[in-house]
């Protein structure tokens, strides 16, 4: 029936900024009800969706428009203007093939994970007896591996390390006003400029290898048959590189989990390179730790949700963090338990740290890469003889995106 959801009338923009990950779960707790929770955000009416059925509803493209859904400050930092995230219908489907062809091909995914392993070994191999700042080093490792794998034109080491820091800044500053946000804007502007120039040069010289992601972006055809303009090409290259570097967040969380759970670490260390435990561990890290808080889209005019005809301009929010900790879906949701994914593989619309629905929709095309890279790094870390010196490993839930405060410092054994 219409209107069974808890209703919250005041605009909650400020509450979101203050409460971060705890905002939606807190609202749900304070305003229980069966239907979608109602609130307001940035002046718009909002309906909050939660649960596998709601995920399927949200990912039905008749129910959710992406064009105009993301605020400018998010586009100018995290995703870029004209990104695949902002497209609908045939334009979206055509652009999405660019990502799906590369990122879901097992040999290509395996090759990227292998590059990450080599770079990680090169970094920690030279640091015996020293302290390593895991978050920062993981970002460098991931940027070096993905630049090489994607066939980005040969920047030197300093340029790749700058790219790593810029990608971290773009993610770190998207959801917050102030200096972090300005850093994120500058980082995006700089990398879009560099990559646009690289695209123009490569097209002029015809030098790019066609079988790399870089080559694929250069020759990709839109729904209307046109090539990507250099700026959009740069935006989409960053939509491969930036989220790969963002696996640094999950890497820090993986080390956090190992520091708390020596039994988990031992089991990871004992397993062979193709074992299923590290994959289950990667899924559990993605489920358990806070990264994406929620996702947004605009309801088309006249959309009926749960018996209610939604007001013009309604924003649909999918409660990602809340759903990944819902006791209806997960036994003991606040227990870190990789074995839950050994007992049963994740269902499409239950585990949604990277979105839900079919891949052809807006679901993240980088899930295979994330799981492969994270399981490789988890095994490497677990086998490494490292100690965790005294530090602040708390993960503040009012900061989006969050991570262990210290960034996780490790002392690598001799």
Among residues 352, 374, 310, 367, which one has the least CA distance to residue 54? Answer: 352
* 49: enclosing H helix or E strand: strand 44-49
Q: Which residue, 49 or 364, has its beta carbon nearer to ligand HEM?
A: 364
Nearer to ligand HEM, 228 or 240 (CB): 240
Footprint (CB under 6 A) of ligand HEM, residues 92-111: 96, 99, 103
Site membership for ligand HEM, residue 25 (CB under 6 A): no
Closer residue to ligand HEM (CB): 381 or 412: 381
Closer to ligand HEM by Cβ: residue 288 or 291: 291
* Closer residue to ligand HEM, CB minimum distance, 317 or 382: 317
The tokens describing 154, both together, are: 């040969």
As measured in angstroms, the least distance from the Cβ of 352 to ligand HEM is 8
Residues 214-253 that bind ligand HEM (CB under 6 A): 239-240, 243-244, 246-247, 250
255, 367, 325, 245: which is closest to 29 by C-alpha? 325
247-260 and 277-288 are packed helices; what angle lies between their axes, rounded to 10 degrees?
100
Contact criterion met (CB below 8 Å) for 102 and 216: yes
Taking the complex as a whole, the smallest distance from the CB of residue 333 to ligand HEM amounts, in Å, to: 18
CB of 411 to ligand HEM, least distance (A): 26
Question: Is residue 295 involved in binding ligand HEM (CB under 6 A)?
Answer: yes
Q: How far apart are CA 155 and CA 148, in angstroms?
A: 10
Q: Are 252 and 138 in contact (CB under 8 A)?
A: yes
Rounded least distance, CB 243 to ligand HEM, Å: 3
Give the residue with the Cβ less far from ligand HEM, 233 or 412: 233
Q: Considering just the CA atoms, what is the radius of gyration of the chain in Å?
A: 21
How many residues touch ligand HEM under the rule CB under 6 A: the total is 25
Angle, to 10 degrees, between the axis of helix 247-260 and the axis of helix 230-245?
Answer: 10
The answer to whether residues 242 and 165 touch, using CB atoms and an 8 Å cutoff, is no
Residues 347-406 that bind ligand HEM (CB under 6 A): 353-355, 362-366, 369-370
Residues contacting residue 20 through CB under 8 Å, at least 6 positions apart:
293, 396, 397, 398, 399, 400, 402
* Site for ligand HEM contains 124 (CB under 6 A): no
Does residue 207 contact residue 152 with C-beta atoms inside 8 Å?
Answer: no
- Copy the structure tokens of residue 35: 């239907």
User: What value, to the nearest 5°, has the Cα angle with vertex 389 and ends 386 and 391?
Assistant: 135
| Least separation in angstroms between CB 364 and ligand HEM | 3
State which residue, 365 or 404, has the beta carbon closest to ligand HEM.
365
Least distance CB 108 / ligand HEM (angstroms): 10
Which positions from 143 to 182 touch ligand HEM by CB under 6 A, shown as an x/- string?
----------------------------------------
What is the full DSSP assignment across 291-344?
Answer: ----EEEEPPTT-EETTEEPPTTPEEEE-HHHHTT-TTTSSSTTS--TTHHHHS
Shortest approach of ligand HEM to residue 314 CB, angstroms? 17
Whose CB is nearest to ligand HEM? 366
How far apart are CB 39 and ligand HEM at their closest, in Å? 20
Q: Which is nearer to ligand HEM, 57 or 250 (CB)?
A: 250
Among 75, 155, 54, 140, residue whose Cα is nearest residue 357: 54
| Chain residues that interact with ligand HEM, rule: CB under 6 A | 84-85, 96, 99, 103, 239-240, 243-244, 246-247, 250, 291-292, 295, 353-355, 362-366, 369-370
């Amino acid at each position: 029936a219409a209107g069974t959801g808890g209703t919250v009338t005041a605009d909650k923009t400020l509450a979101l900024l203050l409460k971060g990950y705890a905002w939606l779960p807190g609202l749900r707790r304070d305003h229980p009800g069966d239907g979608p929770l109602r609130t307001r955000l940035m002046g718009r009416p909002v309906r909050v969706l939660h649960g596998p059925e709601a995920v399927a509803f949200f990912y039905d493209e008749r129910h959710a428009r992406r064009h105009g859904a993301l605020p400018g400050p998010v586009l100018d930092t995290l995703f870029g203007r004209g990104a695949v995230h902002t497209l609908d219908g045939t334009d979206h489907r055509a652009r999405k093939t660019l990502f799906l062809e590369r990122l879901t091909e097992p040999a290509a995914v395996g090759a990227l994970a292998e590059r990450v392993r080599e770079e990680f070994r090169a970094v920690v191999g030279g640091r015996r007896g020293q302290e390593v700042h895991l978050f920062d080093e993981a970002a460098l490792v991931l940027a070096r591996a993905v630049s090489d794998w994607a066939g980005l034109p040969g920047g030197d080491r300093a340029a790749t390390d700058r790219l790593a820091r810029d990608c971290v800044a773009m993610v770190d500053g998207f959801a917050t006003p102030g200096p972090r946000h300005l850093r994120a804007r500058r980082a995006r502007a700089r990398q879009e400029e560099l990559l646009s120039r690289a695209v123009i040069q490569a097209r002029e010289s015809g030098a790019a290898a066609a079988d790399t992601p870089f080559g694929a972006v250069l020759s990709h055809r839109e729904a209307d048959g046109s090539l990507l303009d250099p700026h959009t090409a740069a935006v989409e290259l960053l939509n491969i590189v930036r989220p790969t570097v963002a696996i640094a967040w999950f890497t820090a969380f993986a080390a956090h989990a190992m520091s708390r759970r020596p039994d988990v670490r031992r089991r990871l260390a004992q397993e062979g390179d193709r074992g299923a435990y590290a994959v289950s561990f990667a899924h559990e890290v993605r489920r358990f730790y806070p990264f994406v808080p929620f996702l947004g889209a605009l309801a088309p005019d006249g959309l009926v949700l749960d018996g209610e005809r939604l007001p013009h301009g309604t924003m649909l929010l999918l409660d990602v963090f809340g759903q990944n900790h819902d006791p209806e879906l997960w036994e003991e949701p606040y227990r870190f338990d990789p074995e839950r994914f050994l007992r049963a593989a994740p269902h499409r619309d239950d585990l949604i740290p990277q979105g839900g629905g079919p891949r052809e929709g807006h679901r993240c095309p980088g899930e295979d890469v994330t799981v492969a890279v994270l399981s490789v790094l988890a095994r490497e870390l677990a086998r490494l003889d490292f100690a965790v010196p005294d530090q602040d490993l708390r993960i503040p839930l009012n900061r989006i995106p969050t991570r262990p405060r210290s960034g996780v410092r490790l002392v690598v054994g001799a």
